[in-house]
Structure 1
Amino acid sequence: MHDDTARIDAFFSEAKTWPEELRALRAILLDCGLTEEFKWRGPCYTYDGGNVAVIWGFKENAALGFFKGVLLKDPEGLLVAPGDNSRAVRMFRFNGLSQIEAMETTIRSYVREAIELEKAGAKVDLPKDDIVYPEELLAALEEDPELHEAFEALTPGRKRGYALHFAQPKQSSTRVSRIEKSRDRILAGKGLQER
């Protein structure tokens, strides 16, 4: 835990984008009774070991993300998906400290609802087979039993991330190259963005 504290302190003291906004969001999350841990190169806010929220400082805004955001009621439609392929996470985007201050009551109500979802053991129902693997990946898995076994052992989210990454290029040769470059990472059981 001590190592987490040092890394979290460094995250906030070294934040180059939206430092005041990130500190304000941190204060709200901690005041709501969440535990602060260091995961995925930044602070993550948990309840009884379950991931509830995360904060990011992007170039264009500061963001507060909810891991099970699709389950939140969001009556005003304030939450957005971080990307086109995001299935569960939803987030608030902020362009200034005054915006966070003006929305503090709303933010707290969303955090409380997210905590209640975690307490209740709510799960996001994700379709199992909604990603089509590119032909090049299917061929690589068929030709390389070690790769096939390692790929199948990945979590559904990691498999999805790789499948989307491999399918993106228009040219088959680029798809093959991406698969080859990712082989060692897959064999190590790591996701696309993991070190």
Structure 2
Amino acid sequence: MSEQKTWNRNAFWQQELEGLKAILATTELVETTKWGGIVYTLNGKNVLGLGGFKNYFTIWFFNGVFLKDELGVLVNANEGVTKGLRQWRFTRWEDVNEKNVLHYVNEAIANERAGLAIKPEKKVRIECAFLDAELAKDAALRTAFEGFTLSKQNEFLEYIATAKQEKTQVSRMEKIKPLILEGRGLNDRYRK
């Protein structure tokens, strides 16, 4: 039996994380473990998480972008990439004010109840004239291809479209044609 991997960053700031957990225990949130980290949920929806890093410990709010942030403490850890998640970082336990933490947590709970969330961007179909031409020539291939989800279609389209030379596109097409006809995605062998 394989050992479950845990997010080893939680090994930092153990006492401080236990202190935050004690504060969160007074709320209606349910503590769970996801991705090897401490996550708190409401009706199965992720509301916030805790983590200890080398230089700080943090509360991250999954939809923190909707918090008013009256204290100006929230940061976007990955500007330009992270849309909704915001972190509140601490470098010492003395900076944790239980009343303020609960204020932010209760606002996050209210936002979750109100359904405030960043909606995932609608995925668009990647364009690949070569594969489109191949699908137009073979009705069975087209029908099988259309049976895939958009993300699996895009994996095939990108695989062909990223080939720089036509001979590479042809050899890649020969490789993926049996997969498509068998209903197997390009990267299915890597998925569990």
| Residue 108 (1) aligns with residue 102 (2) | yes
Alignment-derived partner of residue 152 in structure 1 = 151
Q: TM-score under structure 1 normalisation?
A: 0.60
Could you say which residue in structure 1 is the equivalent of 2:77?
82
Does residue 28 of structure 1 match 2:23?
A: yes
Supply the AA of the counterpart residue of 2:68: K
| Residue pair 1:69, 1:88 contacting (<8 A) in 2 also | yes
**Cα displacement string for residues 84-136 of structure 1 (whole angstroms, at most 9, x for unaligned residues):** 21101001001011112xx221110000001111112222245547xx99xxx
Which of 28, 49, 64 is 2:44 aligned to? 49
Q: How many pairs does the alignment contain?
A: 147
* 1:125–1:99 CA distance, 2 compared to 1 (3 A): same
Distance in 2, matches of 1:117 and 1:19, equals 29
Unaligned runs of 5+ in 1: 1-6, 160-171, 173-182, 191-195
Q: Secondary structure at the match of 2:60?
A: strand
User: Any unmatched runs of 5+ in structure 2?
Assistant: 133-143, 155-163, 165-185
Percent sequence identity over matched residues?
Answer: 32
- Kept in 2: contact 1:62–1:93 (CA 8 A): yes
* Residue correspondence of structure 1 range 10-29 to structure 2 within 5 A: 15-29=10-24
3-state SS in 2 of match to 1:25: helix
Match of 1:166 in 2: none
| Change over 3 Å in CA distance of 1:99–1:81 after alignment to 2 | same
Q: Which amino acid aligns with 1:89?
A: L
SS in 2 for 1:31: coil
CA contact (8 A) 1:151 1:187 kept: no
Instruction: Tell me which residue corresponds to 2:118.
Output: 124
Amino acid paired to 1:75: E
CA RMSD of aligned residues (A): 3.9
Whether 1:63 and 2:66 are equivalent positions in the alignment is no
Structure showing greater radius of gyration is: 2
TM-score, length-normalised on structure 2? 0.61
What letter corresponds to residue 152 of structure 1 in structure 2? S
Partner of 2:92: 96
Give the deviation of 1:184 after TM superposition. Answer: 4.1
Measured in 2, the distance between the counterparts of 1:35 and 1:98 equals 25
